[in-house]
């Protein structure tokens, strides 16, 4: 490890500790990630975003802490410091997943979900009684709703469908196919009390520690239907997913038909990806809607 003076001095200002060395960390799509070796012998992860919204990292920190409050839930990294431009987390030495670790993750994720949320939507209090969040670099609308079908339609699918259309990331007939399916959400999506969701639970946001402990990172936390988190895990290929789901079901069995509903809950992340990356994600979302419909 060498020492990036600018990053080291910023971290020292926030932590009150000397930074002996820094090293870039690969894998982040949004933030610049750096490993810090601190003078007390520990290590930390610093994530920085230039020109981030004023509350970007405050929302992330609040989400991590909210998830971390769940009894027996999935662990989250300790927040060491945060400011408008960065957040510094306790370093988690990465390892590899295996069947036993995946089972522990499934059990703990069920407990995290079961910690619940006040309503479908934001858990944070803001000037309007709630606070919107972020998913990657995109705003995440979180105004509460009384039912999951309503919230999923007007806060998750339709805003990103509109943005994808505005950005030329989806064709008009494909957008129409998704809109037609949205009108049927009330009959297709089951009601459950709000769960405590990570909200952006693709495989890259599950960190497997060297000791086999699973950790949650980079949340878009909110109150929602637990099938949304599980659908994201399935969409982007979490290793040992079968073991995760088996263990999850032992704690809180899913409602009949959940496997058939996974594509419905994959519309949201597919549309987010269409907004961010374009390509074939818009068409893939439409194919999903047509298959379900």
Overall number of domains in the chain: 2
Q: Count Cβ neighbours within 10 Å for each residue of 137-160 and write b for 16 or more, e otherwise.
A: ebebbbbbbeebbebbbebbbbbb
Q: What domain range is 121 assigned to? A: 99-292
What is the CATH number for 24? 3.30.200.20
CA distance 194 to 116: 6
**Catalytically active residues, by annotation:** 200
One domain, residues 58 and 159: no
| Mean pLDDT, residues 154-180 | 97
pLDDT in tens, 50-81: 888 999 999 999 999 999 999 999 999 999 99
> How distant is the alpha carbon of residue 126 from its chain centre?
20
Classified as helix, coil or strand, 152 is helix
Q: Tell me the pTM.
A: 0.95
One domain, residues 15 and 36: yes
At 125 the pLDDT is 65
Is the pLDDT at 23 greater than 90? The verdict is yes
pLDDT in tens, 91-122: 999 998 899 999 999 999 999 999 999 999 98
Locate all alpha helices (DSSP H) within the chain, ordered by sequence: 5-15, 56-68, 99-114, 148-151, 158-166, 172-182, 185-188, 226-235, 241-251, 258-277, 281-292
* Residue 37 near residue 7, CB atoms below 8 Å: no
Q: Give the DSSP H/E element, type plus range, for residue 215.
A: strand 214-216
Q: Which of 71, 90, 109 is the last residue of a domain?
A: 90
Which token pair is 224? 């929602």
| Mean pLDDT, residues 258-270 | 97
One domain, residues 131 and 54: no
Listed in sequence order, the residues at least 6 apart from 86 whose beta carbon sits closer than 8 Å to its beta carbon are 10, 11, 14, 46, 47, 48, 49, 57
DSSP for 138-149, please give it. Answer: EEE----BSSHH
Is the pLDDT at 140 greater than 70? The verdict is yes
Average pLDDT value over all residues in the chain: 94
What is the CATH number for 188? 3.90.1200.10
One domain, residues 41 and 132: no
Measured CA to CA in angstroms, residue 105 lies from 58, 101, 269 at distances of: 26, 6, 21
Which token pair is 254? 């899913």
| Mean pLDDT, residues 226-252 | 97
């Amino acid at each position: 490890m060498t020492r990036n003076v600018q990053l080291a001095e910023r971290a020292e200002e926030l932590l009150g500790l000397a930074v002996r060395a820094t090293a870039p960390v690969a894998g982040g799509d949004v933030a610049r990630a750096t490993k810090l070796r601190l003078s007390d012998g520990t290590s930390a992860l610093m994530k920085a975003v230039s020109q981030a919204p004023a509350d970007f990292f405050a929302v992330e920190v609040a989400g991590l802490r909210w998830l971390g409050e769940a009894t027996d839930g999935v662990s989250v990294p300790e927040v060491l410091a945060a400011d408008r431009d960065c957040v510094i987390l306790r370093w988690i030495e990465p390892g590899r997943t295996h069947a036993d670790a995946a089972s522990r993750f499934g059990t703990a994720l069920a407990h995290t979900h079961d910690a619940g949320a006040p309503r479908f939507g934001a858990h944070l209090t803001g000037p309007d009684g709630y606070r919107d969040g972020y998913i990657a670099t995109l705003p995440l609308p979180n105004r509460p709703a009384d039912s999951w079908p309503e919230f999923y339609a007007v806060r998750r699918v339709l805003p990103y469908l509109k943005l994808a259309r505005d950005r030329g990331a989806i064709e008009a007939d494909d957008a129409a196919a998704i809109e037609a399916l949205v009108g049927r959400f009330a009959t297709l999506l089951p009601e459950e009390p709000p769960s405590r969701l990570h909200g952006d639970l693709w495989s890259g946001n599950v960190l497997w520690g060297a000791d086999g402990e699973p950790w949650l990172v980079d949340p878009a936390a909110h109150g929602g239907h637990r099938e949304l988190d599980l659908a994201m895990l399935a969409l982007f290929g979490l290793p040992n997913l079968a073991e995760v789901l088996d263990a999850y079901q032992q704690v809180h069995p899913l409602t009949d038909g959940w496997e058939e509903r996974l594509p419905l809950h994959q519309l949201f992340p597919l549309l987010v990806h269409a907004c961010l990356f374009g390509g074939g994600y818009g068409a893939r979302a439409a194919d999903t809607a047509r298959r379900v419909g």
